[in-house]
Structure 1
Amino acid sequence: MATLNRPGDGDGHVCGIDTAMEVIGGKWKVLILWALHERSHRRFGELRRLVPGITEKVLASHLRELEADGIVDRVSYDEVPPRVEYALTKDGIRLNDALEPLAAWARTRTGTPPRPFLSDQAG
């Protein structure tokens, strides 16, 4: 049985879940991670299309936060016009792998069959 860290035992976190939720919390971050998981590099506009309902402002903010947390790399190419792509880091890949059992649990609970990310079906 795992022992929980107690508040005040160092970083102030109670368990690993609260630490993970600081990184992936919110409505959109896991969907951004999943879109990046499906293909190694994606551009901002592509991510915006893949996560229906997200605003440009929120996407930009979440990408900055995920980059600051070491989950996403922002790759800027020295081209005209400028090109920027986003990709998962090794930690981001491990985080997505850790989220897969949660997705499987949800599919079982709802009876939803597994399917590719909604983006890649749209062409």
Structure 2
Amino acid sequence: MTSKTVLAIDDSRTIRSLVSQTLVDAGFDVTTAVDGEDGVSTFQGTRFDAVITDINMPKLDGFGVIAAIRGGAANRKVPILVLTTENSPEFKDKARDLGATGWIVKPFEDRQLVDILKLVTGADNA
């Protein structure tokens, strides 16, 4: 079985480390990016099974990341999960309208993050 690949985009080194460790322990292959620009650039060069993005980041925010991936040429249907401290209905609606698959509020529960990623990537069926 090939492990599912996840791109985690967050400007917080701590969050990148927590997400990465949690997912690697669950059998995912994780690549991290330090901001939205870095994330979109990394996404364009590799095929990922899912993307996790923060909203508030320098250079390009999470909304820009979602728009860039959904408007790009490759892998436009990839599941995109928003992992953020933001919890307003306006932010959620905007992310959903742009094409986000789901929304997880920080601090996240390890099990919840893993379960959602398994669900959206089909990792349970692999």
Tell me the TM-score normalised to structure 1 length. Answer: 0.27
Q: Larger Cα Rg: Structure 1 or Structure 2?
A: 1
Higher normalized strand content (fraction of residues) = 2
TM score, norm. by length of structure 2: 0.27
